């Protein structure tokens, strides 16, 4: 069982849909598929603006956000509380932005007041990068409040929502997020291979000014081709089949029910982890509903634990990234997930934890 925060398992209906023959991606059939999936995605993004389906992983979507919105030398505020926030900053910097990194402690959410202060201190900042759900630490930041602060100062807001959109509420238009990025293999019950991005009117204004080099990720090309039912380059057709089926299932369940299910499953996960005597890594008021990070107590060998789970229980959990390696492990609970899946994770943990150096009372 795959319980990492992406890729996530796909329901059998979704897998089955990928056995269909290829179609001409410049033909009528693909146009219908592209139009229906894009329309459905707009409902999940809660936006009336543009949404594009790009072939690539989530990071490609983040690069797209940067190169379509920024120019070399632009002052950018990167709000960082984990590994993925660092990555977004690195991408913008890699293409020549002048990035100010505003870091918050790992395990905590980004503080809107801190963001306000940073923006007031340097009025030349035009754009803010932020991570809605920091997958590396299991933290969801208060994006509504961050957005308020950013929008009061009329800045552009680019959001990495790769591991939250479709699972945790993120009303793109209401929260005035200019570009929001997610990836197919996280909460969407779809294999890796597609990134989804929304683009607001204000983002289109920035697009006309942006001078970073761009080609593959050019949102203008995506828009031009979408108008004729196509993508600029050959799309991952098979993943589109999967997406179409998954979105149908998600629409049937409804956005509200999906959010509620993720809340229930996450609360159950946190409660049961605590009941095992294990500490949570993230502060509970900002704990994510898609991934739970567990702090390794004295004596627990995280690598050994993950090996035992993998070899003896066929269960894949994620470790900690970078500095957090060996210090935490993470349980992904997004997408195709129910309470009974967590029961089975806990059953395996109960057996494996004592073998990895953490006796359970
Ligand atoms: C998974 C993830 C990414 C990276 O996405 P890829 O599809 O691996 O490129 C970036 N940000 C967050 C928050 C993620 O969870």
pLDDT in tens, the chain (361 residues): 999 999 999 999 999 999 999 999 999 999 999 999 999 999 999 999 999 999 999 999 999 999 999 999 999 999 999 999 999 999 999 999 999 999 999 999 999 999 999 999 999 999 999 999 999 999 999 999 999 999 999 999 999 999 999 999 999 999 999 999 999 999 999 999 999 999 999 999 999 999 999 999 999 999 999 999 999 999 999 999 999 999 999 999 999 999 999 999 999 999 999 999 999 999 999 999 999 999 999 999 999 999 999 999 999 999 999 999 999 999 999 999 999 999 999 999 999 999 999 999 7
Of 252, 285, 315, the one marking the end of a domain is 252
- Number of independent structural domains in the chain: 2
Same domain, 85 and 228: yes
Q: Is the CB of 286 under 6 A from ligand 1?
A: no
Pocket test for ligand 1, best of 90, 139, 163, 330 (most atoms within 8 A of CB): 163
Residue 38: which of 304, 204, 209, 222 has the closest Cα?
Answer: 222
Does residue 210 lie in a domain region?
yes
> Containing H/E element for 33?
helix 28-45
Does residue 60 lie in a domain region?
yes
Same domain, 191 and 296: no
Same domain, 143 and 263: no
Same domain, 78 and 152: yes
- Under 8 Å CB-to-CB from 281, ≥6 apart: which residues? 106, 107, 137, 138, 293, 294, 295, 328
Of 201, 227, 252, the one marking the end of a domain is 252
Pocket test for ligand 1, best of 7, 54, 59, 170 (most atoms within 8 A of CB): 59
Number of helices followed by number of strands (H, E) in the chain: 12, 12
Q: Which domain holds residue 328?
A: 255-356
Structure tokens given for 172: 């793109």
Same domain, 18 and 119: yes
Given the CA of residue 60, which atom of ligand 1 is nearest to it? 9
Does residue 121 lie in a domain region?
yes
Q: Is the CB of 84 under 6 A from ligand 1?
A: yes
Given the CA of residue 185, which atom of ligand 1 is nearest to it? 7
Of 235, 252, 269, the one marking the end of a domain is 252
Same domain, 60 and 137: yes
Does residue 307 lie in a domain region?
yes
Does residue 37 lie in a domain region?
yes
Measured in angstroms, how far is the CA atom of residue 26 from the centroid of ligand 1? 29
Same domain, 54 and 148: yes
Question: What is the spatial distance between Cα 310 and Cα 338, in angstroms, rounded to a whole number?
Answer: 20
Measured in angstroms, how far is the CA atom of residue 6 from the centroid of ligand 1? 8
Ligand 1: residue whose CA is nearest its atom 2 = 162
Q: Please say whether the beta carbons of 174 and 46 come within 8 A.
A: yes
Does residue 262 lie in a domain region?
yes
Q: Is the CB of 6 under 6 A from ligand 1?
A: yes
Does residue 320 lie in a domain region?
yes
Does residue 361 lie in a domain region?
no
Pocket test for ligand 1, best of 160, 164, 290, 292 (most atoms within 8 A of CB): 160
């Amino acid at each position: 069982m795959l319980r990492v925060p992406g890729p996530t398992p796909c329901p059998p209906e979704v897998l089955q849909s990928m056995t269909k023959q290829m179609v001409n991606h410049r033909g009528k059939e693909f146009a219908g598929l592209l139009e229906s999936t894009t329309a459905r995605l707009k409902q999940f993004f809660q936006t009336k603006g543009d949404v594009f389906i790009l072939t690539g992983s989530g990071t490609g979507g983040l690069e797209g956000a940067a190169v379509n919105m920024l120019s070399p030398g632009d002052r950018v505020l990167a709000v960082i509380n984990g590994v993925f926030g660092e990555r977004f900053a690195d991408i913008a910097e890699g293409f020549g932005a002048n990035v100010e990194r505003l870091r918050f402690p790992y395990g905590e959410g980004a503080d809107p007041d801190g963001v306000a202060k940073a923006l007031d201190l340097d009025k030349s900042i035009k754009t803010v990068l932020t991570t809605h759900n920091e997958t590396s630490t299991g933290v969801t930041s208060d994006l509504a409040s961050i957005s308020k602060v950013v929008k009061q100062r009329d800045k552009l807001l680019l959001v990495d929502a790769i591991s939250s959109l479709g699972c945790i509420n993120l009303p793109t238009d209401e929260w005035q997020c200019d570009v929001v990025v997610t990836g197919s293999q996280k909460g969407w019950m779809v294999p890796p291979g597609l990134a989804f991005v929304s683009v607001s009117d204000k983002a289109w204004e920035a697009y006309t000014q942006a001078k970073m080099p761009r080609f593959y990720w050019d949102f203008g090309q995506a828009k031009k081709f979408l108008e004729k039912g196509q993508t600029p380059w050959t799309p991952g057709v098979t993943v589109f089949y999967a997406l179409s089926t998954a979105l149908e299932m998600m629409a049937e369940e409804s956005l509200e029910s999906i959010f509620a299910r993720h809340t229930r499953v996450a609360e159950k996960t946190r409660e049961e982890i605590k009941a095992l005597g294990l500490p949570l890594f993230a502060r509970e008021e900002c704990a994510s509903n898609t991934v739970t990070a567990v702090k390794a107590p004295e004596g627990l060998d995280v690598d050994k634990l993950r090996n035992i789970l993998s070899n003896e229980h066929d269960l894949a959990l994620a470790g900690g990234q970078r500095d957090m390696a060996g210090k935490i492990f993470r349980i992904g609970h997004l997408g195709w997930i129910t309470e009974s899946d967590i029961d089975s994770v806990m059953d395996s943990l109960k057996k494996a934890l004592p073998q990895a150096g953490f006796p359970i009372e």
